[in-house]
Amino acid sequence: MDILVTKKVTKRFGGLVAVREVDLEVKEHGIQSIIGPNGAGKTTFFNCVTGFYPPEEGDILLEGRPITGFSTDRVTKRGISRTYQNIRLFKNMTVVENILVGMHPHLHSNIVGGILRDPRTNKEEAAAVEEARRLLRFMKLGGQGDRLAKNLPYGAQRRLEIARSLASKPKLLLLDEPTAGMNPSETQDTMNLIRQLRDELGVTILLIEHQMRVVMGISELITVLDYGAKIAEGTAHEIQNDPKVIEAYLGRGKVSGSRAQPSATPPISTASTER
């Protein structure tokens, strides 16, 4: 079953078409990736799905219901949560508070409850803090809860951002370059963590990566964007040998040369679109 379906999503900035008629289906409980060179429109596509930008054309469906043009808070309440390419934590709040903000849609205390601290509010707060601590332990951030987010080391900030987005109990988690700036061993750890999220928490994961190598191991399906359009889709093996993908990453000259191996695996015909 597809949890997220986008149909011909297009986003323009003036004359520039950042995302061009992208169709995408994300399977429930899967790990899928979007890759593409710099400026391919990956993050813009994420922004369209999460409501940061309304797409000019096309439909976005979450579990079969349209969320096209929704504001970010409504998208989050429907069950999509995301991280950012450049870490965007609430820097001057503590780690636990960051998580608690992430839980916002699931908490119900209002201004009166906040002032009077009635038993219901207290119970809700205590349960939320307890859950936040459990989430932190799961993300290997146990014991760091009272530090300010800005004082965490880089890798921990990345993990905290994922933890914060998990706090809203999303059905679909969008990760925007979760391994940016990490060394190979940290990258491997993060990939293992992502797999763990899917296996243990049952979240569907869609991630953006810049480097193909990173996503090869864990993605069940890889979609390749270039100049805003989908140019290929398939398994890691299929993508690796797709001449269009090689062209997008390495340039046309190389493709016509010795590295093009169109005969090795034919690209999936339904997935590629003309540019």
Partner 1 sequence: MKTETSSSWKKAINSGLISGLISVLITLVGLVESFARSDVIRGVFTLGEIILFAPVIILTFSALKSASNSSKTTLVCISAVIGLITGFILTLLILLGQAVDLRVMFVNASPSLFNMLMRGVPLPLGALLPPLLCVLVALLILGIYLIPARPRSAIIRGLLWVIILGTLRDQLLLIDLFKVPAISSFLKQVIFASSGLKPIGALLIFVITAGSAYYSSVRKKGTATNQSIKAQKTKRIITIAALAVVVFSLPYALGIFYTEILDTTGYFIMMGLGLNIVVGFAGLLDLGYVAFYAIGAYTMGVLTSPGLGLFHLTFWQAFPIALLAAWLAGIILGLPVLRMRGDYLAIVTLGFGEIVRLLALSDWLKAYLGGTQGIQGIAQPVIGSLEFDTLQRLYYLILIGIAILAFIAWRLKDSRLGRSWMAIREDEDVAQAMGINLVLTKLLAFSTGALFAGMAGTLGAAKLTSVYPHSMTFIVSINVLVMIIIGGMGSIPGVFVGGLVLVGLPGLLTEFAEYRLWFYGLALVAMMLFRPEGLWPEARRKLELHEVEIDRELPSSEVASAGQ
**Residue 212 CB, nearest approach to partner 1 (Å):** 28
51 binds partner 1 (CB under 8 A): yes
CA atoms 210, 213, 218, 224: torsion sign: positive
100 binds partner 1 (CB under 8 A): yes
1 binds partner 1 (CB under 8 A): no
239 binds partner 1 (CB under 8 A): no
69 binds partner 1 (CB under 8 A): no
Nearest residue to 218 (alpha-carbon basis) of 195, 184, 186, 189: 195
Among 30, 37, 69, 145, binds partner 1 (CB under 8 A): 145
Give the CA count within 13 Å in the CB-facing half-sphere of 265. 15
**Residue 249 CB, nearest approach to partner 1 (Å):** 31
Element (H, E) at 172: strand 172-176
254 binds partner 1 (CB under 8 A): no
CA geometry: angle 205, 27, 106, nearest 5 deg: 50
Q: How far is the C-alpha of 174 from the C-alpha of 34, rounded, in Å?
A: 10
Q: How far is the C-alpha of 223 from the C-alpha of 219, rounded, in Å?
A: 10
Among 110, 185, 269, 270, binds partner 1 (CB under 8 A): 110
Nearest residue to 44 (alpha-carbon basis) of 55, 35, 33, 29: 55
114 binds partner 1 (CB under 8 A): yes
Near partner 1 in 151-210, by CB under 8 A: 164, 168
Applying CB under 8 A, the residues found at the interface with partner 1 are 50-52, 71-73, 75-77, 82, 84, 88, 90-97, 100-102, 104-105, 107, 109-111, 113-117, 121, 125, 129, 132-133, 136, 142-148, 164, 168
